[in-house]
């Protein structure tokens, strides 16, 4: 089971806990600090959206488990 993050890249995952960095889909900008959240098994979780400081793109963030 792996966790897929939209609007971010996975740094590491352990069970339902994922550490990720916010990433802009538009220009590829990646924040230089990690965020950690819990994604319930087999479900989707929304995370805090952000506005890219590089290009101003409003990026939605969500993560989901998939087998």
Which of these ranges, 2-10, 34-42, 43-51, 53-61, lies near Zn ion under the rule CB under 5 A? Answer: 53-61
Choose among 67, 54, 51, 53: nearest CA to 7: 51
- Tell the smallest beta-carbon distance from residue 31 to Zn ion (Å): 11
Residues in the chain: 67
Among 43, 54, 58, 60, binds Zn ion (CB under 5 A): 54
Q: What one-character-per-residue DSSP string does 29-42 give?
A: -B-SS-EEEE--TT
Residues near Zn ion (CB under 5 A): 24, 26-27, 29, 52, 54-55, 57
């Amino acid at each position: 089971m792996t966790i897929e993050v939209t609007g971010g890249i996975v740094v590491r995952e352990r069970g339902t806990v994922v550490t990720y960095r916010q990433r802009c889909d538009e220009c590829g900008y990646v924040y230089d600090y990690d965020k950690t959240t819990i994604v319930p098994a087999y479900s989707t979780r929304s995370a805090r959206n952000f506005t890219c400081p590089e290009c101003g793109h409003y990026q939605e963030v969500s993560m989901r488990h998939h087998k």
